[in-house]
Structure 1
Amino acid sequence: MSENTENQQDGRIIQINIEEQMKTAYIDYSMSVIVGRALPDVRDGLKPVHRRVLFGMNELGNNSNKPYKKSARIVGEVMGKFHPHGDASIYDTIVRMAQPWSLRYMLVDGQGNFGSVDGDMPAAMRYTEIRLQRMAEAMLEDIDKETVDFTLNFDDTLEEPTVLPTRIPNLLINGASGIAVGMATNIMPHNLTEVVDGAIAYIDNRDITIEELIKHVKAPDFPTGGIIYGYEGVKQGFETGRGRVVVRGKINVETSKAGRERLVIYELPYQINKAALHQKIAQLADDKIIEGISEARDESDRDGMRLVIDLKREAIANVVINQLYKYSELQTSYGINNVALVKGRPRVLNLKEMLSEFVEFRHEVVVRRTRFDLRKAEEKAHILQGYLIALDHLDEVIALIRASRTPEEAKDGLMSRFELSEIQSKAILELRLQRLTGMERDKIKEEYDEVMKLIAYLKEVLSDEGLRFKIIKEELEDVKKRFGDERKTEIQYLASEMRMEDIIAEEDVVITISHLGYIKRTSAYDYRQQKRGGRGALGGKTREEDYIEHLFVASTHHTMLFFTEKGRCYWLKVYEIPEGEKSGKGRAIQNLINLPTDDKIRAIIDIKDLGDKDFISSHYIVLCTANGTIKKTLLEEFSRPRQNGVNAITVNEGDQLLEAKLTNGNSEIMMAIKSGRAIRFPENTVRDTGRGAIGVRGIEVDNDKDEVVGMICVNKEDETRTVLVVSEKGFGKRTEIEEYRITNRGGKGVKTINITEKTGNLIAILDVTEKDDLMITCKSGITIRMAVADIREAGRATQGVRLIRLDDTDEIAAVARLDEQEEEKLDNEGMEGDGSEQPLDNSSENPGTATAEASEDGTPAE
């Protein structure tokens, strides 16, 4: 497509492709907006209009130690010399740089009405007066020492700087926002002290990670204060240059003399209009969206912001506060988009890149400044050297000058007679007579020596990069000392972002999981130790058809691995398990992990630290199923938690996962079945396989009548452990492991307890020591704790002794072991039982009882 355009002067018609013309014109326009208007330079953090205002004020001598000048005069100076745009845009820039609620660190010192946080307009430029802030002067320092490049202004009559030689990391401390063509920028302000510390940390270690830099530059710091709510978006912004920060206003709850509560908002999120927020809150109250507010009024004065909200008598302060955060701009989110010009091109920058660009620019400034100072010092030394030569031949010089008819002749005579340069000769001719006195001659000599020392130092700076960076650090420290302050914006971490281990006390807790899948944690000190045969105490209120199935002790800082009967593995931190009373029901485990409704927890493993590489690469998870299958997998396979769990073992139809144990690869495995048989074989006969494997046969099981009830893994070197077996009707005994001969994996095994109608089927097999305690849980909810030492040892073929007397309708549901260390922690609390029967906490709600009976011999049953 093309368009014909007629040239009016000579009648020629020039054919132009309109698509190409529009593309070229639009690209030219967009690049002009990007480079010349909307985006800040990464080095000084300024857009052209800000830079021109500050430079124009500096050229006018409008410094912090001089009287204020009318804003209109500065606007005219900047517009006429450097910025050929409307006066409104220039004055708006000046106003923003003078507002303490707009810039974290103001660059312009204003006198007069510069607007308010309520959105009031500033006075006209003819009324207000301004001068540079001391911080702005630090940004302009050394500009006359050829530290930055200059370019011609719009009409090529003057020069203006392309960047300011700033000592202040302005891009980070004041931020920037702007909309260009096809891109935008939104850089948050930060705290000067933190940014300087971050820059120094980068200088000390160029390979520093963003994670380490965040320890110095913690988060954005807004001029209006407030609270940063949640850290993940901030961290993402630091790492990638793009993120999101949520800011809340600060609220105090006060009580009036009449006893009524009121909320006082004393800090707002950044760039929020107070008057508009006041109106919004009143509207929310009128519309009954927030019902607890009776009145909202603005009591702000020169002492600070005070937006007061009176509450109704029945209102709950925290509820109203949360509603204000939800429905009003008292909570506002800002998108982080760190786009700045790097060597004239727009780039998205992370925290480290912004700091590195600033530090490299400061290095360039120091080098250029040093070269300039060296040149000036050498020029001065050259002249002083000429003075010294003249002073050494003073009479001869005076005679030569007196004999010369013109200054030019005198200059030539000095040059030829004393081998001086033209510059030296001119300087001698311009020398004042008073400098020929003896004292002045000494001063010239001292001055020459000082200049030579300076030249040596400047040359050393140019030759030593380490010295240059030391200078940069010293200047940054000086900036921090002069302008640094405390953070204004607080940081409030979300619970999901905090390292909970740092704020949760490490203690042992009892974890209980019921048959229907309710889980809770209870302080282990709530469980009193009782003698064997005691009546027991209520361990968990459950529904009539429910009972406690798993009970064990773990530390709050550990990670629990949950294995389900379908062979899945899930992860949960112990502190994430809801705390409840010992007699409480707990919480459905499906609310904590993504457990399908047709699956249930069968085994739990307590891991201290899944991040310990040595530990997870040297330990194994051994799994067994009800049909006698056994499988071993490296713990490392389970070291990366996933929200939806992972497959731990492939379970065949009709089978289910029964038990999971943690081993070191050097154990002996024992499996027992409910008909009373057990097998013992070395762990190394089971080779380790991946998570998805099926496993191998561990013990022969008659699938129609029998099933595996448990598995234990005993370290070969541990001679203190014995095998404890417990039957459904409350009988149990301990037997030496050596009584079970080692056989081949997959065999039938040997008798482990004499099963009778009186004992019921085998329900549990555990490995214990005499220092351990047992937790026995019944299907009725009764829990009893007893010392293993009270259970006598007996042979493999005996029926054992009665551990707990049960009602005819009750059975044992689970048996758990408390190890020696846990025993000491619990017993030190002074909870040892006195051997007497303990009453049930709620016997009416749990009709099941457990009563004592005299010990029986460990003789074989009839």
Structure 2
Amino acid sequence: MEAQQRYVDLPLEDVLGDRFGRYSKYIIQDRALPDVRDGLKPVQRRILYAMLMDGNTHDKGFRKAAKTVGNVIGNFHPHGDSSVYEAMVRMSQEWKVRNVLVEMHGNNGSLDGDPPAAMRYTEARLSKLASELLKDIEKNTVEFVPNFDDTTKEPVVLPAMFPNLLVNGSTGISAGYATDIPPHNLGEVIDAVIMRMNHPDCTVEELMEELKGPDFPTGGIIQGIDEIKKAYKTGKGKIVVRGKAEIEKIRVGKEQIVITEIPYEVNKANLVKKIDDLKYERKVDGIAEVRDETDRTGLRIVIELKKDADAEGVLNYLYKNTDLQVPYNFNMVAIHHRHPKLLSLPELLDAYIEHRKEVVINRSTFELQKAQEREHVVKGLIKALSILDEVIAVIRASKDKRDAKDNLISEFAFTEPQAEAIVSLQLYRLTNTDITALKAEEEELEKKIKGLTSILEDEKKLSKVIQSELKQLKKTFADERRTKIEAEIESITINMESLIASEDTIVTVTKDGYVKRTSLRSYTASNGKDFGMKDSDRLLCQYEMNTTDVLLLFTNKGNYLYCPVHELPDIRWKDIGQHISRTIPIDQDERIVQGIPLKSFDDEKFFLFVTKKGMVKKTEIRQYKAQRYSKPLVAINLKDDDEVVAVHITDGTGLILLSTRFGYGLLFHEEEVNIVGSRAAGVKGIQLKEGDAVVSGLVFAEKHVNDQKLAIVTHRGAVKMINIGEIERTQRARRGSMLYRELKTNPHRTAAILLVNGNENLVLETEKGIREIVHLSNVKVTDRYSNGSFYIDKEEAGEVTDSWLETEA
């Protein structure tokens, strides 16, 4: 008869929830988190137990790692061989665990993150300390359960003669839980356990007199005692771990930084590469060479510095910007009574002590039973030897062994175990000396039984046994602390100027956004000619600056880009620069309006902004100093589709000239513009007609009003020059004066207004890309009512879209 099939209609979320819940429970309890008692995850426990069962112990030779992995997979852990081997290797890496549990011959990886050799090449055995985790496992000390295929049994937990969870720490990620418990010093942990046993109510502060804090296998320096205390109280805390570095003098004026210890879990090769990258990217200019001189005598990374470089400054920069200093986050989660739990230090110690008491009670019970059984047999043997002739006569008269045992039991009242021992007795043991030896053994057994009984009956004696075993273990295995602990987390201040090699350079910015710095050597070799840029591009600004200066680039969208000169790409004069978007991401339609060089942000000066919709804003330059500058920063708050037209640096005493597309010019004093914050929008500078827009904003000193000229370029290709004195000075927020005669048909529209002295070359560029050079020395100075002379035919070349000045070559 066919088996009936039953279909259950269940919501998908219920099925998924149930299945994932079961999976999560398995991952949490039986894979990723350590047991609070022996500090091991199931795979680690199975590896150690399999090695013990195979006789692969510290007092015997090494065995192929593949054999152990095979045993573990075949008998206890039906998972991938690589996961088992990786767990086995990790227990042998002295830079990962404070006290190795597996000794390995062959390549077991490195501090540089190199992978270990395949398991067919390596050999392993239990370390001497690992044997202490497994000690007495054969004495019914821990619970055993059937393995996955019911062919044998495996321990649920190891007896753990020492608190392995704290000694070697643990790290793991499961479903909904993660754990990060740092390694500690074996001697200190044992002292803390003994203190906790003697004073069950002791505080974390008192425990920390014995257990100072984590002790990493890689040494280093821990900062933050308060955070250690917090972690020990709550299970969570964040400390700072830094490598050990010293500054050595090589010769006069030249020093080197030598790193001899690095933080826990930091990859040495990656650290060296990062320091090297800082050198090549010129983030730190004081580094001459980076060498990894690590050998079998120990770790050694040498950072050779340039002459007169600030060694302290470079070291602080490395602490702040590389893994030479890293945070370590305590998250002391372990399986406690089959549940994951965030544990404090007292709770961890109590859980271990509770386990250890259980183990010693189980061991004592086992040994007591064995001793009592042996004592019973010994008493029987002594009695038999005292009536030896009768015993022999009874045995000789018997038919077989079973009959002999039955006769002895009925004749002399021996018990079954005693009769078994008598009939199994060898002839040579029937001597007088043997009775003496048996009586001595009986006395010894009585003494042992008395001792074991007292342990089981007296809590104090039980504690004394545990403590004496821990003290013995400490005496055998404890070593010196490797990690130094400092009370405070040092705040690192970096004076970047001291790290940057002072060098004069030429900094250039093009209209299309290509930026570079060029050495004076490259600039001089090119004689300032053949500047590298695209044919359609033009030079927006060029400054002679020092590598310790900062270039601020202002964009039409009201942002500014903070560019320390030493971080600009160093490119030859004849080569095209690097687009600014490769360093700082800007929008595709965002363009640079102005670049302003700054040596200091402390000067009593201001940035003055002019926008297309006639807004003017004045802000102190100190407000634009930035600590983080990897993205555009807000320079001015723009409304709607407004844009920045011009940016100037001023002293607050100049005159402002705003000119518009429709030909209006408004001249007023800078004092009329109040000082506002960096994110403000400013005030109205000029009253605009509908459809009009500001095309230019100029700032100049009041004393130059009568001796400076303006070159006015219109979209129709006309150019004229006027004296600034021609323009009436008034107040802001007015319409201003016309700068040329207004025509009813085909009126002129302003393309550009430039401040000139009359000797420069003026370049006009049209929408068709045609460029015309006008020698301003040939242009007459006229009044406001003139429309100038035509230099471009609008019908042929198109409207003028841009104009700029070039000095005579």
Q: TM-score range by the shorter chain?
A: 0.5 to 0.7
Match in the other structure for 1:202: 196
- 3-state DSSP class of the match of 2:9? strand
Find out whether 1:487 has 2:489 as its counterpart: no
Residue number among 354, 358, 362 corresponding to 2:352 in the alignment? 358
Residue aligned with 2:488, SS: coil
1:183 to 166, 177, 188: 177
- CA distance, structure 2, for counterparts of residue 197 and residue 184 of structure 1: 28
The offset of 1:483, in angstroms, is 0.8
Query: CA separation in 2, counterparts of 1:9 and 1:368?
Result: 49
Cα distance, 1:212–1:163 mapped onto 2, change above 3 Å: same
User: 1:24 Cα deviation (Å)?
Assistant: 1.3
The range that moved more, 416-425 or 47-56, is: 416-425
| Alignment match of 2:463 (pick from 463, 469, 488) | 469
Q: Is the 8 A contact 2:38 2:157 kept in 1?
A: yes
Q: Secondary structure at the match of 1:223?
A: coil
Q: 1:240 aligns with which of 221, 230, 234?
A: 234
State the 1:11 CA deviation.
Answer: 5.7
- Give the Cα separation in 2 of the matches to 1:241 and 1:462: 34
Give yes or no for contact 2:253–2:308 (8 Å, CA) kept in 1: no
Amino acid at match of 1:219: G
- State TM-score, norm by structure 2: 0.60
Equivalent residue letter for 2:127: Q
CA contact (8 A) 1:43 1:171 kept: yes
**2: CA distance between counterparts of 1:198 and 1:80?**
39
Output aligned runs, 1:312-327, within 5 Å.
312-327=306-321
Counterpart for residue 225 of structure 1: 219
The one-letter code matched in structure 2 to 1:251 is: A
Distance 1:10 1:360 in 2: 52
- Equivalent position to 2:123, from 105, 129, 138: 129
> In 1, are the aligned partners of 2:204 and 2:229 still within 8 Å (CA)?
no
- 3-state DSSP class of the match of 2:104? strand
Quick check: 1:293–1:311 contact (8 Å CA) kept in 2?
A: yes
Matches within 5 A, 1:134-533: 134-257=128-251, 260-494=254-488
- The match for 2:17 among 16, 20, 23 is 23
Question: Over residues 557-578 of structure 1, what are the superposed CA-to-partner deviations in whole Å (9 max), with x where a residue is unaligned?
Answer: xxxxxxxxxxxxxxxxxxxxxx
Name the counterpart of 1:51. 45
CA–CA separation in structure 1 for the residues paired with 2:318 and 2:248? 16
Where in structure 2 are the equivalents of 1:552-631 lying within 5 Å?
none
Is contact 2:223–2:490 with CA below 8 Å preserved after alignment?
Answer: no
- Contact kept, 8 Å, 1:69 with 1:131, in 2: the verdict is yes
Amino acid at match of 1:181: A
Worse-matched range after superposition: 36-45 or 258-267: 258-267
Alpha-carbon distance in 2 for matches of 1:71, 1:477 = 33
Q: Given the alignment of the two structures, is residue 34 of structure 1 paired with residue 21 of structure 2, yes or no?
A: no
Give the match's secondary structure for 2:346.
helix
Q: 1:76 corresponds to which residue? A: 70
Structure 1 residues 62 and 496: alpha-carbon distance in aligned structure 2, compared to 1, 3 A threshold: closer
Give 1:359 deviation, angstroms. Answer: 1.1
Which deviates further from its counterpart, 252-261 or 119-128? Answer: 252-261
TM-score with structure 1 setting the length: 0.56
The answer to whether the 8 Å contact 1:36/1:48 transfers is yes
1:110 matched to 2:104: yes
SS of corresponding position for 1:333: strand
Over residues 318-344 of structure 1, what are the superposed CA-to-partner deviations in whole Å (9 max), with x where a residue is unaligned?
A: 111100000000000111000001111
The runs of 4+ residues in structure 1 deviating greater than 4 Å are 8-12
Deviation of the 1:9 alpha carbon: 6.5
Structure-2 separation of matches of 1:64 and 1:344: 32
Q: Secondary structure at the match of 1:121?
A: coil
- The answer to which of 76-85 and 442-451 deviates more is 442-451
Distance in 2 separating the partners of 1:408 and 1:182: 63
* C-alpha distance in structure 2 between counterparts of 1:317 and 1:493, whole Å: 24
Q: Comparing 444-453 with 179-188, which one deviates more in the overlay?
A: 444-453
1:89-131 alpha-carbon deviations (Å, 9 max, x no partner): 1100111111110101100011111111011111110111011
Query: Helix, strand or coil for the counterpart of 1:256?
Result: strand
Question: What CA distance in whole angstroms lies between the structure 1 residues aligned with 2:354 and 2:243?
Answer: 37
Contact 1:434 1:440 in 2 (8 A): no
Alpha-carbon shift at residue 12 of structure 1 (Å): 4.6
Aligned partners of 1:407, 1:9: CA distance in 2, in Å? 57
Distance 1:280 1:231 in 2: 29
- Cα deviation code 1:820-854 (max 9, x no counterpart): xxxxxxxxxxxxxxxxxxxxxxxxxxxxxxxxxxx
Shift in Å, 1:17: 3.1
- CA shift, 1:13, in A, is 3.4
Return the letter of the residue paired with 2:233.
E
Aligned counterpart for 2:58 among listed residues 48, 57, 64:
64
* Cα distance in 2, alignment partners of residues 403 and 495 from structure 1: 89
* Cα RMSD, aligned residues only: 1.4
CA deviation map 1:715-738 (0-9, x unaligned): xxxxxxxxxxxxxxxxxxxxxxxx
Structure 1: how far apart are the matches of 2:42 and 2:263?
28
Secondary structure of the structure 1 residue equivalent to 2:10? strand
Q: Measure, in 1, the Cα distance between the counterparts of 2:308 and 2:290.
A: 17
- C-alpha contact (below 8 Å) 1:237/1:350 kept by paired residues: yes
Distance across 2 between alignment mates of 1:293 and 1:134:
45
**1:325·1:331 contact (CA, 8 Å) conserved in 2?**
yes
Q: Please tell me the residue identity of whatever aligns with 2:240.
A: V
**Are the aligned partners of 1:173 and 1:191 in contact in 2 as well (CA < 8 Å)?**
yes
Q: How many Å apart are 1:19 and its aligned residue?
A: 2.2
Deviations 1:387-432 (A, max 9, x none): 1111111000000010111211111110111111111111111011
Aligned mate of 2:80, from 74, 83, 86 = 86
Where 1:214 maps in the other structure, the secondary structure is helix
User: C-alpha separation between the residues in 1 aligned to 2:56 and 2:252?
Assistant: 54
Deviations 1:73-93 (A, max 9, x none): 000011100010010011001
User: Following TM superposition, by how much is the alpha carbon of 1:14 offset from its aligned partner in structure 2, in angstroms?
Assistant: 3.0
CA distance in 2, matches of 1:405, 1:216: 70
Aligned length: 490
Q: Secondary structure at the match of 2:316?
A: helix
Secondary structure at the counterpart of residue 180 of structure 2: strand
Which amino acid in 1 is paired with 2:181? I
Shift of 1:314: 2.6
- Find the aligned partners of 1:11 and 1:155 in 2 and give their Cα distance: 28
Q: Could you say which structure has the greater relative contact order, defined with CA pairs below 8 angstroms and 6 or more residues apart?
A: 1
Q: Which residue of structure 1 lines up, in the alignment, with residue 731 of structure 2? A: none
Provide Cα deviations, 1:226-245, integer angstroms capped at 9, x if missing partner. 00022222111011100112
CA drift at 1:208: 0.4
CA distances 1:449-494 after superposition (whole Å, capped 9, x unpaired)? 1111111111111111101101111011011101111110101222
Say if 1:374 and 1:281 are closer, same or farther in 2 by CA, change over 3 A.
Answer: same
Instruction: Provide the rounded CA distance (Å) in 1 between the counterparts of 2:114 and 2:445.
Output: 56
Residue identity (%): 48
